[in-house]
Amino acid sequence: MKRFGFLDKIVNNLKEAKMEVEVFEGIEPDPIVITVMRGAEAMKSFEPDWIVAVGGGSPIDAAKAMWAFYEYSEVTFEELCIPFNFPTLRTKALFCAIPSTSGTATEVTAFSVITDYDKGIKYPLADFNITPDIAIVDSDLAETMPKKLVAHTGMDAMTHAIEAYVSTLHCDYTDGLALHAIKMIRENLINSFNGYGRKSKNA
């Protein structure tokens, strides 16, 4: 996000709107509990009205969890691990997600995955409270993905589409979306991998 100038663009746009901005960086792939707590402490110090999460699934997932600890210092990670057990959010801040990859769709879902390496466990946090208020999906960001990431996230998107179609919670509405997503990925993933339709190629 830094290298291609997107972070600066977002920060500058927010500052032009007369908003104070503080950037929290260093989210690892498969974000860990310690990083979440560190980010929550940074939020408590800065006291933002908006949380803007930029990047792939990992930084957006991490920011979702940070959001809960920012608004409720007393909540424990163990409590958040219980499905649909989050306290009511938006008492201090709203949430905007700007994804740079395809696949997880965390920018429009009620889920966050946080890893505890000490226990060797990935915890899926689930609650409608953590669904972002705003999702900004900008194709310019996706076009910066290297070919390997195009392949990985493209197959991730395909997996999620198939999963939605065979889910026990499927319905006529979701079936149409899932089948159309499968069709679009099948028709476009290889071209996307080869850089067709992109403004710049990144190996």
Dist CA 30 CA 59 (whole Å): 9
- Whether residues 90 and 19 share a domain: the answer is yes
* 203 confidence band (pLDDT: 50, 70, 90): very low
Each residue of 67-100: b (16+ CB within 10 Å) or e?
bbbbbbeeeebeebeeeeebeebeeebebbbbbb
Is residue 103 domain-shared with residue 185, that is, in the same domain?
Answer: no
Same domain, 153 and 98: no
In a domain, 1, yes or no: no
Distance (Å, rounded) from C-alpha 133 to C-alpha 64? Answer: 11
Q: Is residue 88 domain-shared with residue 106, that is, in the same domain?
A: yes
Q: Residue 56: inside a domain, yes or no?
A: yes
* Alpha-carbon distance values, 189 to 13, 117, 138, 180, 186 (Å): 32, 33, 17, 14, 6
103 and 165 part of one domain: no
Query: Tens digit of pLDDT for each residue in 18-44?
Result: 999 999 999 999 999 999 999 999 999
On whether both 66 and 112 belong to a single domain, the answer is yes
For residues 119 and 64, membership in a common domain is answered with: yes
Q: What number is the average pLDDT over the span 72-78? A: 94
Asked, for residue 200, whether it belongs to a domain, the answer is: no
pLDDT digits 0-9 by tens, 119-172: 889 999 999 999 999 999 988 888 888 899 999 999 999 999 999 999 999 999
Quick check: is 201 in a domain? no
Closest CA to 30 of 155, 114, 138: 114
Residue 203, domain member (yes or no): no
The CATH number of whichever domain residue 108 belongs to comes to 3.40.50.1970
- Same domain membership, residue 88 and residue 104: yes
- Whether 92 is covered by a domain: the verdict is yes
Count of domains forming the chain = 2
Name the residue range of residue 13's domain. Answer: 6-141
**Which 3 state secondary structure label does DSSP give 32?**
strand
The count of residues in the chain is 203
Asked if residue 112 and residue 163 are part of one domain, the reply reads no
Residues 143-182 as b/e (b if ≥16 CB within 10 A, e otherwise) read bbbeeebbeebbebbbebbeebbeeeeeeeeeeeebeebb
Q: Are residues 50 and 132 in the same domain?
A: yes
Average pLDDT over residues 82-103: 94
Nearest C-alpha neighbor of 62 from the set 29, 91, 100: 29
The DSSP call for residue 56 is S
Nearest to 126 by CA among 84, 76, 77: 84
Whether 76 and 155 map to the same domain: the answer is no
**101 within domain boundaries:** yes
User: Are residue 95 and residue 18 in the same domain, yes or no?
Assistant: yes
